[in-house]
Amino acid sequence: MTPAYAVERESALSSAQPTPLVFVVDDDVSVRESLEAMIRFAGLRAETYASAQAFLGCPRAMVPNCLVLDIGLPDLSGLELQSLIASERTDLPIIFITGYGDVPTTVRAMKAGAVEFLTKPLDDQILLDAIRHAIERSRTALGDEARAKALRDRYASLSRREREVMDRVVSGLLNKQVGAELGISEITVKVHRRHVMQKMNARSLADLINMAGRLHMDHAPQAALKSVA
């Protein structure tokens, strides 16, 4: 291995963020050891596995992470493992490595979401560049997931009546129309609406409409924007 990754090591160690984790799945012990040494020297954490089944038994990482995955494995192939974890591990970008490469396999891997497909012998700098890119993608995905969970938690804190008011407000109804539908006074609607805005941490009606959209609620944004009361 060449010392081309020394710059990445210094950069990673200087970061105050949690140390990213790189998983390596390859049935060749020499490849695993070599990659582990390179990744650790670059200031990243590394976990290595000899098979897809062994990797499937490890817990999900809650820090930016990626997977360096060999195509040809003794149990499940790399492509089969990719298919198994695709829907559950969107925060885990995959970098495929192989001793041989063919166009159909490469195309299949990339269409399924792989960030890179590299052939052995691996170039240190190219692999580390791919790892850095994959970790940034993972960091973005984890951030999006955390924001989505926070939004769901805020929505869950609403009372049943507050959810009913929110649903109608973002659909474009005026306060008096909401009250008529729910059988409550306009003043009561305004109180619930204020509580909704506070609990959802919405700065404006447009902000609340965007939140409703992310929560997959039925709404009519343009109509609602015209009915700000």
The number of distinct structural domains making up the chain is 2
> Do residues 92 and 166 share a domain?
no
Give the CATH number, domain containing residue 132.
3.40.50.2300
> Do residues 140 and 185 share a domain?
no
* Residue listed under structure tokens 């950069």: 11
Task: Return the HEC string of the chain.
Answer: CCCCCHHHHHHHHCCCCCCCEEEEECCCHHHHHHHHHHHHHCCCEEEEECCHHHHHCCCCCCCCEEEEEECCCCCCCHHHHHHHHCCCCCCCCEEEEECCCCHHHHHHHHHCCCCEEEECCCCHHHHHHHHHHHHHHHHHHHHHHHHHHHHHHHHHCCCHHHHHHHHHHHCCCCHHHHHHHHCCCHHHHHHHHHHHHHHHCCCCHHHHHHHHHHCCCCCCHHHHHCCCC
Q: What is the pTM of this model?
A: 0.73
Q: Is position 127 within any domain?
A: yes
> Which tens digits make up the pLDDT trace of 45-100?
999 999 999 999 998 888 999 999 999 898 899 899 999 998 788 899 999 998 87
Comparing 1 with 124, which gets the higher pLDDT?
124
Length of the chain as a residue count: 229
> Do residues 138 and 114 share a domain?
yes
> Do residues 171 and 94 share a domain?
no
> Do residues 40 and 15 share a domain?
yes
Q: Which of 97, 112, 147 is the last residue of a domain?
A: 147
> Do residues 123 and 174 share a domain?
no
> Do residues 81 and 143 share a domain?
yes
Q: Is position 152 within any domain?
A: no
> Do residues 109 and 168 share a domain?
no
> Do residues 179 and 213 share a domain?
yes
pLDDT for position 197: 97
Looking at residues 100-116, what average pLDDT do you find? 77
> Do residues 83 and 164 share a domain?
no
Q: Which of 121, 147, 173 is the last residue of a domain?
A: 147
Q: Is position 185 within any domain?
A: yes
Question: Which range of residues forms the domain containing residue 43?
Answer: 6-147
pLDDT for position 104: 72
Cβ atoms within 10 Å, residue 8: 21
Angle at Cα 214 formed by Cα 208 and Cα 215, nearest 5°? Answer: 90
Burial of 203 (0-12, 13-18, 19+ CB in 10 A): exposed
Q: Is position 15 within any domain?
A: yes
